[in-house]
Chains A and B, each alone.
Chain A
Amino acid sequence: MHENHQYLRVGGNPVVVDLAAIPVLDYGRFYSQTSHILRNPDCRCVAYFAKPTSTTLDFFMAISDERNDILLYRHQCEQTQELEALTAQLPAMHIYEREIAERYGVTFSNHPWLKPVRYPYNRVASEWMDSYPFYKIDSTELHEVGVGPIHAGVIEPGHFRFICNGEKVLHLEIQLGYQHRGVETLLADGSSTLRKMIISENIAGDSAVSHGLAFALCAEALADVAIHPQLALERVIAQEMERIAVHIGDTAALCGDVAYQLGLVVCEALRTVMINTTQFWCGNRFGKGLIRPAGTHYPITAEVKAEVVKNLTKVRKEYLQLTETLFGLPSVLARFEGIGELTTEQVRGIGAVGMAARMANLERDVRRSNPYLAYAFFEHQPVVKDGGDVMARAELRSEEVAQSIDRILQMLDGVDFDVKAATPNFSLQYRPNALVLSLVEGWRGEICHAAITDGSGAIAHYKVKDPSFHNWFALALAVRNQEISDFPICNKSFNLSYCGNDL
């Protein structure tokens, strides 16, 4: 179907290519080609970003197509140029274009709402978020509720502005950016690979393994380093352990929100078992320090294996015992079922990824579509639910916990884990004038890291995409026409990242 299209097709994950091999299109061609390809529901944009040069902006587009290859192409424009918005054709592109507009001042015509994404310090406009004009409806019947940036719990900051008719939410506007630390700038500042590695695993603490892994995959691909098959397995085990721990913690939070105290305390305790197992393995409850380029300091030993097997077996039994009871309680079902419901069309329309897509019958899972590391050795069958509500998101977690535990136990079973592992390498020589892109399925969904190197092989531009970048909009849609008192449970059922968004 793409005979007349101009792109570079690359298989595998991560992908690394010479910059010169990526075709440069004029914007008209770029626009029609992108609209055409992305109209196919099996294709999705995984990265679209601009890199400033001295006089122009260099735009990079990466699409995962129906064959699960990555299609790469570019276009260039002046910073002040006005471009036709892809969002008008493809709503899911809204967030990419908003980001580019805010950061570099490009105007996209026919974009419905070029709202700033995160008010970074290096944006072109000078206004601050405190003077931001929130969406308003002029009516004496309606009232506004503002929450944040500091929320009531011990969580990260963001601002939520509701427009309500009595208890009913008509509209929710979510403003983020409070967590902006300048991460992407620091990842392209000429510092050491070690420092970049550690910054990556601090992008979002609950996804330290996944974001760390996305960076390590990029670094290894740029340096043409092949890793030991055992390391490929260990990294997958670490990632699945991260998923289990967060899913159980989220189950605790959901129980807490509907005042099911037993579920709250049981899941808190089980999450502790999980993260203490990770601490036993590598000394940090979140797995920081576990992922390193080209090797690891913490290979799985017989002792670690025994601890993981023992604890996972316990967690599986006790967590499923709890969720089985939980999903049979009328008081819980009354608060979970039909709350915060999204349809498949809605999640597809906004380009939702990961859990936020799978809970509404849209299979988006990088582990299956673009397998990496040990995921390439077996056929991963993603858990997909069709309810699209809080219940579906809770059940998805419960089923994924069981699936991940079974997968880990199976992987640990067949392998001799006392092989001497390669040690990490922080003096990697990167391929010059190249683009690298890695996709990792974190517990929230698709994480994408992309880097561009200069003529000397130094990283000159770094782009990070957390699944929250797409999925925050799902939360805004989920609460429409719901009671505002159901907002907390809707929010927790998505558990999106603030720091992962504000990069």
Chain B
Amino acid sequence: MINEIKILHDHGIQYVKDLRNAILTPLFRGRPIISGSVTEADAASLEAMCPSGAITAVPLTLDLGKCVFCRECEFAFPHAVRFTNDYHIAASRREDLVVRAGEDRPITVDTTLLRKKVRKLLGPSLKLRQVSAAGDNSCEMELNASGNVNFDMGRMGIEFVASPRHADGIVITGPISKNMAEALQICYEATPEPKIVVLVGSDAISGGLYANSPALDRSFLERYHVDLYVPGNPAHPLTFINGLMDLLGIEDRK
């Protein structure tokens, strides 16, 4: 018992006090900024080198829904692209994830898009069922971390649950393999209305590195509306938690 009290004492307070304004290390790869004065030749090279097809040359844009945050574009063309450590990069509209050259605009969740009833019903207590559909386990580990002693997403009434029957929405990671397409569909149907759909990680949002792989079946996303896109490779817990708080209009409960 004395040992355990000593351990508790030595560890002190671990939780992130202010989830909205916590600052990540300078090298963390968050929202990029693209310079407004990139030559056509450099833009073409950027498009050609991007491993996941996130960069388009004309006009010069970077799609965070496709980006795997490798930062190689910045290393190759430091005058053209710069990654900031801004982790507020979740959006409720797919097109809001596209960063344009010459713009330094925060990425925000459009709070008017979510059905009013859903906000009212789920805001105080959101239970989520997670479906890993061929994710590489890093997004899954970050979602687990969102609930751990540091980020403590539970303080906002947001939790992962074991059954879709207990859930108010599903969180999908991974590019959705053919072998998971049916299980995902069953899970969605088993979740009671009203429910939300959240995509976490570039693989889930666009297919990411696997976009052209014949091993995928992404038809689920053609059938259902997505309420929140959380980019990253993997998405950082703070990106996920802040995205959900914005979507549901939840205040930080410190």
Contact = CB atoms under 8 A, between A and B. Distances in A.
A322 B137 contact: no
Interface stretch (B92-100, B127-135, B221-229, B242-250): B127-135
A150 B183 contact: yes
B39 interface: no
A262 interface: yes
Size bracket, chain A contacts: 35 or more
Given A325-B7, A499-B136, A205 B162 contact: no
Nearest to B138: A205
A130 B182 CA distance: 9
B116 to A, nearest CB: 29
Interface stretch (B58-66, B105-113, B209-217): B209-217
Interface in A116-171: 119-122, 129-130, 149-150, 152-157
B242 to A, nearest CB: 17
B210 to A, nearest CB: 5
A322 B209 contact: no
A150 B25 contact: no
A152 B163 contact: yes
A194 B49 contact: yes
Given A181-B134, A279-B24, A284 B215 contact: no
Nearest to B30: A283
Given A157-B183, A262-B7, A288 B70 contact: yes
B219 interface: no
Contacts of B75: 297, 423
B179 A180 contact: yes
Nearest to B143: A154
Contacts of A369: none
A182 interface: yes
Nearest to A156: B132
B220 interface: no
A165 B134 CA distance: 33
B214 A182 contact: yes
A266 to B, nearest CB: 6
Interface residues of B, number: 64
A282 interface: yes
Interface stretch (A6-14, A196-204, A430-438): A196-204
Given A262-B7, A279-B27, A154 B138 contact: no
B134 A178 contact: yes
Interface stretch (A16-24, A219-227, A268-276, A400-408): A268-276
B215 A289 contact: no
B148 interface: yes
A418 to B, nearest CB: 17
Interface in B148-195: 148-150, 160, 162-163, 174-175, 177-180, 182-183, 187
Contacts of B4: 262, 325
A205 B137 contact: yes
Contacts, number: 193
Contacts of A182: 210, 213-216
Given A156-B140, A283-B27, A499 B179 contact: no
A153 B7 CA distance: 28
Interface in A79-131: 119-122, 129-130
Contacts of B7: 262, 266, 318, 321-322, 325
B29 A266 contact: no
Contact of A205 (B25, B51, B52, B141): B141
A288 B233 CA distance: 9
B144 to A, nearest CB: 5
B145 interface: yes
B68 A181 contact: no
Given A204-B137, A283-B28, A121 B70 contact: no
A178 B129 CA distance: 18
Nearest to A268: B148
A494 interface: no
Contact of A180 (B131, B134, B135, B150): B134
Nearest to B53: A195
B25 A283 contact: yes
A225 B68 CA distance: 27
A426 B73 CA distance: 13
A180 B178 CA distance: 8
Contacts of B148: 265, 268-269, 272
A60 to B, nearest CB: 23
B213 A198 contact: no
B136 A205 contact: yes
A185 interface: yes
B160 to A, nearest CB: 5
Interface in A243-276: 249, 262, 265-266, 268-269, 272, 276
A497 interface: yes
A64 B248 CA distance: 56
B51 A265 contact: no
Interface string A187-212: 00001101100110011111010000
A36 B174 CA distance: 43
A326 B23 CA distance: 34
Given A154-B130, A181-B175, A265-B14, 11 more contacts: A181-B134, A181-B216, A182-B214, A206-B138, A266-B11, A272-B150, A276-B25, A279-B27, A283-B27, A285-B234, A288-B70
21 contacts: A129-B179, A149-B183, A152-B163, A154-B140, A156-B132, A191-B51, A194-B51, A195-B51, A203-B136, A204-B137, A205-B139, A262-B8, A265-B149, A266-B11, A269-B11, A272-B14, A272-B145, A283-B27, A283-B71, A322-B7, A423-B75
Nearest 9 A-B pairs (CB), nearest first? A205-B138, A182-B215, A283-B27, A152-B162, A195-B51, A205-B136, A182-B213, A205-B137, A268-B148
Interface of A: 119-122, 129-130, 149-150, 152-157, 177-182, 185-186, 191-192, 194-195, 198-199, 202-206, 208, 249, 262, 265-266, 268-269, 272, 276, 279-286, 288-289, 297-298, 318, 321-322, 324-325, 423, 426, 497-499, 502
